[in-house]
Structures are given as structure tokens and as C-alpha cells.
Amino acid sequence: MVSTTYLVKGMTCSHCVSGLTQELTPLTGVTGVNIDLVPEGLSKVTITSTSRLDLSTVQAAVEEAGQELDSVVSP
């Protein structure tokens, strides 16, 4: 299992958390998504997966949910 934490901009409420979770969960290999919401700040999004996810795939899912990927905190 691989756990990677990303910082995401633009999340303001539990609806944002739900929408992003719905976009990330179906990605191939994802076994869990944990989001620490920081309204109007950088929220920590930790994805657990069976193997490393392609950054562009994660970024596309984040953008589809209406947020912006800021950076990767831990590989």
C-alpha cells in the first residue's frame, strides 16, 4: 500500500469533501481517501492506493471536483 498526501486549494465545506472523494475513489488502485478540510486554506488530501498514482490523473480528478491541486506533501 502507498499513502500520498496532497495539498488542495478551493475546498470550503463538507460538500467539497464529498465531491472530491467521489472523484478520487474510483481511480484505479485507490483503497481510501482521507480529507482534512481547511476552509479557504490548503486542505490535506491523503490517498491510499495499491501503487503510486500518476500525478496528472490525481490533478484531473481534483480539477473535475472544482478544486486546485497545490502540491504533493509526501510521496
Domain range for 65: 2-70
- The per-residue pLDDT for 75 is 67
CATH number for 52: 3.30.70.100
Mean pLDDT by 10 residues, the chain (75 residues): 96 95 97 95 97 96 97 85
Residue 29 lies in a domain: yes
Q: Is residue 35 part of a domain?
A: yes
Identify whether 75 is part of a domain: no
Domain contains 30: yes
Residue 33 lies in a domain: yes
Tell me, yes or no, if the pTM score tops 0.85.
Answer: yes
Long-range contacts of 16-25 (CB under 8 A, 24+ apart): 16/65, 16/66, 16/67, 17/43, 19/65, 19/66, 20/45, 20/61, 20/62, 20/65, 20/67, 22/65, 23/61, 23/62, 23/64, 23/65, 24/58, 24/61, 24/62, 24/65
- How many domains does the structure of the chain reveal? 1
